[in-house]
Chains A and B, each alone.
Chain A
Amino acid sequence: MQLRQLSLRPFRNFARIDLEFAEGGAVIVGANGRGKSNILEAICYQSIGKSIRGARDHEAVPHGEGHFDIRGDWQQGQRRHPCRVFYGADDGKRVFLDEAPLPRVSDLVSHFQTVYFAPQDVALVLQFSAQRRRLLDIVLSQADAVYLKALQTYQRLLTQRNHFLRSLGHRGVDPTEREVWDAQLAKPGALLRHHRLLGLVEIMPDFARQYDVFSTGQETAGLLYADEVIESNPDEIPTRDQLEATFRQQLRDGFEKERHAGHTLNGPHRDGFVFTIDGEAADAFGSQGQQKSVLLSWKMAELRLLERRKGQQPLLLLDDVFSELDPIRSAHLIEMVEDFDQVILTAPRQPQESLGDRYARIDLE
């Protein structure tokens, strides 16, 4: 799967720009402040329907404008798929695929997969638990539309249950109502945990192998989910029914505490997800270099997961990697992505590294 064209009218600093992408990919060259990262962000909008950097939609509307408009042309085999993501201050966000409007923005998510790596925000991404869960949510949503649907239902029900808990201050507990909110929350909650465990078990071997390359075998990277070490070949993963029963029990046990706190303290929205190096949490103990290797290894493993699940390779987006990675890691990276379908990368100047001729150069004025 490849992105062949991108038009922004406008988006962030671009009033209007049209870009063509070669089959193998491109290196977008421009000094800092020219908006290289904004182009990658716009591409991600076509894939996940929102800002990969976690920005609000209105922040991507240029000053003095009332909207942004991103059009892409994607190639899957012999077929071309025009895609448009429009946001207007009055109309909200709307998405069109093959010229037809999609009922919901989230309907776009499983169509064009992207994997985005920006080493400059590695500390930010790894430092906070919520950001690490977001990594997981984005890749699993791209891998399976069911996951995204469950995530949205879960968030909706979580809000409802939290309001229910807070309403108990001024009314008695209706045990049936309590049962109902617990049961409703536990269904999508168990699905999220199940998909996460399956996804992590599948990602684990690629992740460990990639990290091994970057650290030249001196260290071992690992993953922890909800305090459990993720193994490459676990004896068994709990079934969704088991996870649902466990979650129901957690909600029952924690009820008095949650009632007091006024929100739900247990659940996939709070589960810890941690990267480790030789058993220690990478966010607390890792050096900058180690953290970059961790995130990059994770991204490579994401790519393999999406490739297997969707039967097509995602588009890989690398934001300013060569300024941020040392020559050895850069060289490893170039080698790794050699056989990828399409890679789009950005750089402040023509990279020193020999990239080969698969990357067409695009200069930002």
Chain B
Amino acid sequence: MGPEPLEDLVVAFTRLPGIGRKTAQRLALYVLKSPPQEAESLAAAVRAARENIGHCTRCFHLTERGQELCHICRDPRRDTGMICVVEEASDALALERSELMRGTYHVLGGALSPLDGVGPEDLRIAELVERVREEGIREVILAHNASAEGEATAEYIHQRLDGMTQVSRLARGLPAGSDLDLADRTTLAHALQGRVQF
């Protein structure tokens, strides 16, 4: 246990996903050792990102402040008849990196999890149903994580969209329990190409 401001910084890092106490300590000590302007620019970058990034009003992916639609929804070359449903923006980023998706996205903002108090009304499912109804969507691809909650969410959306459009899901090339945003390009390509109709 160090001086209090150091401890505060360590705790702040621990709250970040995937950061354990040891790593948090290493990061905090690194920040303290680095030149003041480096720490300053880190703080500024965090603040700027927080202030200048918002959500796309159509797909809820990340967008720059002042832009109603994200760069994907604005891109005329995109296939607007196809929606890939993901849990988090990070999943959309992973699929974008793979350059495999020609359609648009829909970011749910999580997965069903009563344990965490998350029900269907806490996710952007009603908005998805609305989009499918309004935008003449041919196909919805469910790209959920291979977790119990991801499966339940996919099943729920499938039932809600039943009869409205074609619903498919990624082939289970993803190792069970794994997160989409950590999968490599080859795995994603297989999962996408081999997608199966519900």
Contacts and interface: CB of A to CB of B under 8 A. Distances in A.
A299 to B, nearest CB: 31
A156 interface: yes
B21 interface: yes
Contact of B148 (A153, A176, A177): A153
Interface in A78-127: 90-91, 104
A180 B22 contact: no
A91 B176 contact: no
A160 B119 CA distance: 11
A14 interface: no
Contacts of A160: 112-115, 148-149, 152
A149 B155 contact: no
B15 interface: no
Nearest to B147: A156
A201 interface: no
Contacts of B148: 153, 156-157, 160, 184
A174 interface: yes
Contacts of B30: none
A174 B120 contact: yes
A225 interface: no
B155 A183 contact: yes
Of the candidates B22, B114, B149, the one having the most CB atoms from chain A within 10 angstroms of its own CB is B114
B165 to A, nearest CB: 17
B35 interface: no
B112 A177 contact: yes
Given A159-B115, A160-B114, A180 B20 contact: no
A261 B9 CA distance: 44
B114 A180 contact: no
Nearest to B115: A163
Question: Considering residues A163, A164, A177, which has the most beta carbons from chain B within 10 angstroms of its beta carbon?
Answer: A177
Interface string B93-109: 00000000000000000
Contact of B152 (A91, A149, A167, A180): A180
Contacts of A180: 112, 152, 155-156, 159
Interface in B56-111: none
Contacts, number: 51
Interface residues of B, number: 20
B129 to A, nearest CB: 11
A181 interface: yes
Given A157-B148, A171-B119, A90 B114 contact: no
Contacts of A156: 148
A59 interface: no
Interface in A280-302: none
B133 interface: no
B151 interface: yes
A179 interface: yes
Interface in B142-164: 148-149, 151-152, 155-156, 159-160
Contacts of A166: 114
Contacts of A176: 120, 156, 159-160
A171 to B, nearest CB: 7
B5 interface: no
Contacts of B113: 160
B74 to A, nearest CB: 33
Interface in B115-150: 115, 117, 119-120, 148-149
Given A156-B148, A167-B117, A177 B20 contact: no
A81 to B, nearest CB: 23
A153 to B, nearest CB: 5
B152 A181 contact: yes
Interface in A175-213: 176-177, 179-181, 183-184
Contacts of A157: 148, 152
A203 B106 CA distance: 51
B111 to A, nearest CB: 10
Given A160-B148, A184-B148, A179 B115 contact: no
A262 to B, nearest CB: 12
A171 B148 CA distance: 23
A167 B159 contact: no
A270 B3 CA distance: 51
9 contacts: A90-B20, A153-B148, A160-B113, A161-B114, A167-B119, A176-B159, A176-B160, A177-B120, A180-B152
6 smallest beta-carbon distances between A and B, as pairs:
A163-B114, A164-B114, A156-B148, A180-B156, A163-B115, A184-B152
Given A160-B115, A184-B151, 7 more contacts: A90-B21, A149-B176, A160-B112, A160-B113, A160-B152, A174-B120, A184-B148
